[in-house]
Amino acid sequence: MPRKSSLDVAFPAGQANRLSPPDDLTGPARAMFLDLVSSVRPDFFQPAHRPLLVAYASALVEERVAAGELEADYIVDGKASPWLAIWQARMRAVTTLARALRLSPASQCITAPKEEPLQPLSYYERQALEHQHGDREPN
């Protein structure tokens, strides 16, 4: 039996359905977007969810920065740090967006049937997702 060419290797069917981050999303927010998309089944998010996912990933990163600043110095000149207002606003955004994207545990219990655990993405699947162009529809 002849050996298969590397071009004949089939890629997992689920990979083509995952959303990729837009090209202008960079740094920790891009990594957060990829973590979110890879943590759910491939068809969980649709192309219309991309703007909400971008906002959610950015809000999570900003919330973590504000929380770190608050942890370092909560009281400034006898008053609460200005980072407190930023943290509160980001937490509201995270909560609202999580509900809209059905990422909260309560919404998953209601809308999602019990299913088998999701297999984590391989390094190569994650790299392929990272290098897809976000402005195109998934294949």
Q: Quick check: 114 and 1 in contact, CB under 8 A?
A: no
Q: Which pLDDT score is estimated for 106? A: 73
Q: Which pLDDT score is estimated for 17? A: 76
> What value does the CA radius of gyration of the chain take, rounded to a whole number of Å?
19
pTM: 0.68
Q: Quick check: 99 and 107 in contact, CB under 8 A?
A: yes
Q: Quick check: 82 and 76 in contact, CB under 8 A?
A: yes
Per run of 10 residues, the mean pLDDT along the chain (length 139 residues) is 65 63 94 92 90 96 94 87 94 93 72 61 82 59
